[in-house]
Amino acid sequence: MSKNSRAIDAACFTAVLMFGAVAFAAPPVEVFGNLPAISSAKISPDGKHLAIIHPMNGRPIVSVFQLDSPTAVPKNVEYADAVAEDIFWADNNRVVSLFRLNTRWKFNSKLYRLDRAITIAADNSPNAVLMNELPPDLPSVVLDQDPADPYDILMGAWETDAWLHNDRMRNDDQFYFDLFRVSLATGVSSILLHGSPYTNRFLTDGLGHPIGRIDQTKDLMEHLYLGEKEVASYSVSGGDEWIVENLTEDGSALAVKAVGNEDKEALYSLKLGDSKLGPALFLNPNYDMTGVLFDDKEARVIGASYIDDMPEFKYFDSDRQKIEERLKRALPGQYVELVSKDATGANYVVLAGGPKNPDTFYIFSPATSQLSVVAATYPGLSPSDLGEVKPYPYKSRDGLDIHAYLTLPPGKMPKNLPTVIFPHGGPSARDDMEFDWWAQFMASRGYAVLQPNFRGSSGYGFTFRHAGYGEWAGKVQNDLSDGVQKLIADGVADPKRICIVGASYGGYAALAGATFNPNLYACAISYAGLSDLQLILSRETNYGGEESESSSDDEAQMGAKTSETGKLDAESPYAHADQVKIPILLIHSSKDTTVPIEQSEIENKALQSAGKNVQFITLEGDDHLLSLGATRIQLLKEVEKFLAANIGT
């Protein structure tokens, strides 16, 4: 596509969706802390409507727009204190919206995640809560739809004997995962297939027909059934060996995510009925596959993604791949993802972004090369407001190569700067050069920000990821410390003004840095960080105290069983609060179901008892993902104040 053929025509969105970027010498907190102005967009099969997720009153909702009528009032839908999480079109009129809410279980007041699906009609038909007869305590998930039957959808849901008999749930109740057919118009469901007591997933063909299931037995073996025949089994103890994704686009095989002989996670074909993996559908010799791409109508596998310094998307269909390549030439320096398309391929919804280009959604028409802006995620930011992001590789003390990224404050020379070490969560996740609202906020306040992909991070192969197992307070901390020393040696960081900041596992890394490397940092901030490893493991077992897939994976990463309290206590920051020498800020959301707030409460109590300088801020009503605009802003204000007091200029 030539430069002249790239047109920007967003007339149909001007009144509702278009936002103009305003440059600020120092953007206010709200510009970074407000929720993204748009977080998802899907086009209807006939190309006449666009459904988006965007915030209203600081909470994500769903809106449906009529593309050929800019003055038409959009249809807005929200659900009882929940946040909109995903959308897809069931037909030309109905979009299914998925909402998430963290709430308390009525039987024991424990926080849990509630998922609800709602159909939204683009015309004046009533909306419907899907599976509305199912108690909200029992989660459900959308699975598939038959194109020949636009009025129903397939959903999987957990149920118990108590629910079936309209009785109070008992401690010994057995949960079953069953397959239901659900009316899109009324939300009423009927059971299609009963799962066994071990079933945790049904497989469908992308055309509304069940083809098999996956059972997980108590020994953490998964058994893959096609029809009633078991075709393969594999262990998920200590992490997935296989992840069965879905059918390939031609329907001849299942696409399976697995680690092959090349040490990298890749996507392989499993011919229907075979027990052994076939050839790789996608394999990158340098990086793990990070995601699987699905057709937004049939939910079949159409490609895969990986991350170099930024995301890369590879489509198996040559037409899609050519479109992605055309758009990358039109948007140089940015990654491009094809998010959605209409039934004929006349229009695509496209997402593009880069280090100094916060994500923007477009509509692209291949026939005319028309690229029309829908909306930018952070409309109040311009490239001049943002810091330069660059790779900053270094070696750890044992010679391991560490990939890291350094964000420099706008307008500052990289010399003797106050610096933030910002390890990611997971720990089996990774950072890259995409726009990062939290890192860029800290850079805008004058801090250099280093984001290291320490050992244990994903993306760099099986061996690199497993090198972090059992090393949370050991070699992983060395990787972070060696990044600090590299910044000091290069003259970038002022050695007396370095703070470690992190969220989730990154919050643990911050607390561990403050505890086990007390002379390296001037301060530490932990958002939703782990402090008591034995307690967090014990909470992830199955009901009745059995080892779960989640607890098994965490035990592998921590390098200790739940019962091995010696190692777990040795690496739990709360147990060594007396070693801390620096101020610590603890922040936690009150409705966090991933890392319960008690983890920060335990750390706060231990630090207070040891007479240390600690502050504890609770973000009321929010969850682990910081889903609310008001609490994101509150978090950034607390971070800004704390950094200024301890390492600021």
Over pLDDT 70: what percentage of the chain?
A: 92
* Torsion sign, CA atoms 302, 306, 312, 314: negative
* pLDDT at residue number 4: 34
Mean local confidence (pLDDT), 494-516: 98
Establish how many alpha carbons lie within 13 A of residue 418's alpha carbon, considering only the half-sphere containing its beta carbon: 18
- In which element (H, E) is residue 178 found? strand 175-183
In this structure, the chain runs to a length of 649
pLDDT digits (tens, 9 = 90+) for 318-330: 999 999 999 999 9
The mean predicted confidence, pLDDT, of the chain is 90
Mean local confidence (pLDDT), 545-557: 83
Structure tokens given for 28? 């206010």
Contact 49, 62 (CB under 8 A): no
* pLDDT at residue number 163: 53
pLDDT digits (tens, 9 = 90+) for 300-316: 999 999 999 999 999 99
Strands ordered across the beta sheet of 370-376: 335-341, 348-354, 357-365, 370-376
Contact 195, 176 (CB under 8 A): yes
pLDDT digits (tens, 9 = 90+) for 94-129: 999 999 888 776 655 677 778 889 999 998 889 999
Q: Residue 434 gets which letter from DSSP?
A: S
User: What whole-number distance in Å separates Cα of residue 427 and Cα of residue 468?
Assistant: 9
Residue 343 phi/psi, 5° resolution? -65, -30
- In which element (H, E) is residue 335 found? strand 335-341
- DSSP 3-state assignment of 538? helix
Domain ranges (residues) in the chain: 387-532+572-646
User: What whole-number distance in Å separates Cα of residue 179 and Cα of residue 305?
Assistant: 30
Whole-model pTM: value is 0.91
User: What whole-number distance in Å separates Cα of residue 103 and Cα of residue 506?
Assistant: 25
Instruction: Name residue 232's beta-bridge partners.
Output: 224
- Chain-centre distance for alpha carbon 54: 17
Mean local confidence (pLDDT), 393-413: 97
CATH class of 387-532+572-646: alpha beta
Summary count for the chain: helices (H), strands (E): 12, 36
Q: Sorting pLDDT into bands at 50, 70 and 90, what band is 175? A: confident
Closest C-alpha to 524, from 581, 481, 476, 585:
585
- DSSP 3-state assignment of 610? coil
